[in-house]
Amino acid sequence: MAERFIDLDYQRTYAEVADIKRKWLDVPYMDGARHTLDIYLPNEERETYPVIIDIFGGGLCFGDKSSHKLEPALRLLRNNGYAVVSMDYSLLADAPFPTQIYEVKAVIRYVRAHATNYQLNPDAIALMGESSGAQLAVTTAATHAVGAMERDDFGEDPDVSEDVQAVIAMYGPYDFDKFVEQFAEAGITSKYPETGTAESFQGQLFGKQAPKDVPELVKKANPVTYFSAKMPPILAMVGRADPVVPYQQTVNMMEAARKAIGKDKTPYYIVEDGVHGPDDYMGATLTQVKADFLEKWLKEQHV
C-alpha cells in the first residue's frame, strides 16, 4: 500500500538565495515558536518595492519558510522587482486551524507597520500560496473582507490594516469533503489511499476526523463561505492531472469568486498535464501571467 501523507519522511529544503544581496532572516513577527519570517529585496535599487507574502504548503503538517517552494515567488523578485516575504506558521501538531489564519494576518500587519524599515510599499501587498498555503491565502483575504477569523491579540500593531491588494492561489484544497468524488469524476487515482478519511491530511485539519463527519468544520475551512464583493482579486493555477488535490477544487472556488467580484478580477489557468507542486507553475509563461496580474492590481509605481 502507498505511504500515508502523514507518514512522509519530511526533509527540509532551501531556496536558492545566495545571489540576493539584501535580505533579513529569522525576523520575529510575534512571540512564540515558528513565528519568524525572511525578507528578500531585489538587487535593483528602488525607493520602495511591492510585496509578495509567500505561504508554503504541506497539508499544514510539514514545511518551513524559504524552502524550494519559495522559488516561484523568487522568480518574480528577480524578473519583476517584487520584494518577497517568506513566513513560518504553526503546524497542526502545534496549534489547530484557524490559528494559521491569525498568524498570516499578523504577518500582514507586521509587514505594513514596518514597511519603511525594509523599503516595502505598504499599499502594494499580495498573498501568494501553494497547496494548503493557497487555502490559507484565500481564506485570509476573504475572512478579513467580512471581519471573520479576527484575533488582533496575535502579533503586533492591532490597529494596522490587514488588507491585501491581490491573491495568487496555486492548486489549493478548499472543498475538503469532496476529494473522493472529485477524483472519481476526473478519473484520477489519489496519490494517498487514505484520502477522505480521518487519517488523511484533510482529516488532520479537523482534529483527525473524516471531513464527511464534520460538515460545519468543513464549511468553516472553505474560503468560499466568506466570499463577498469586498475581497481582493484572485489569480489561480491548477493542474488537471493533480493526484493530491482534485483540480475541481480550484475551478469551483474560482467560479464562486467570479460570482462575488467578477470575471475580470478572477482569472484562472488549468495546466492540462500539471500535477502537484511548484514545478509546473513557475515557467516563463505562467511567471509572466503572475507578474501581469500583480502589476494590474497592485498598481505599484515603480520608482
Q: What are the tens digits of pLDDT across the range 43-65?
A: 999 999 999 999 999 999 999 99
| Residue where the block lists cell 463527519 | 213
- Per-residue pLDDT tens digits for 160-175: 999 999 999 999 999 9
Task: Report the Cα 143 to chain-centroid distance in Å.
Answer: 14
- Per-residue pLDDT tens digits for 65-98: 999 999 999 999 999 999 999 999 999 999 999 9
Angle at 165 (CA atoms; ends 146, 163), nearest 5 degrees: 45
The dihedrals phi and psi of 65, each to the nearest 5 degrees, come to -65, 160
Exposed/middle/buried for 221, CB within 10 Å: 0-12, 13-18, 19+?
A: buried
User: What's the chain's length in residues?
Assistant: 303
Name the band, by pLDDT with cuts 50, 70 and 90, for residue 1.
low
Average pLDDT over residues 245-264: 98
* End-to-end alpha carbon distance in the chain: 56
Query: Which has the closest alpha carbon to 127: 84, 66, 64, 156?
Result: 84
Residues 53 and 162: their CA atoms lie apart, in Å, by 12
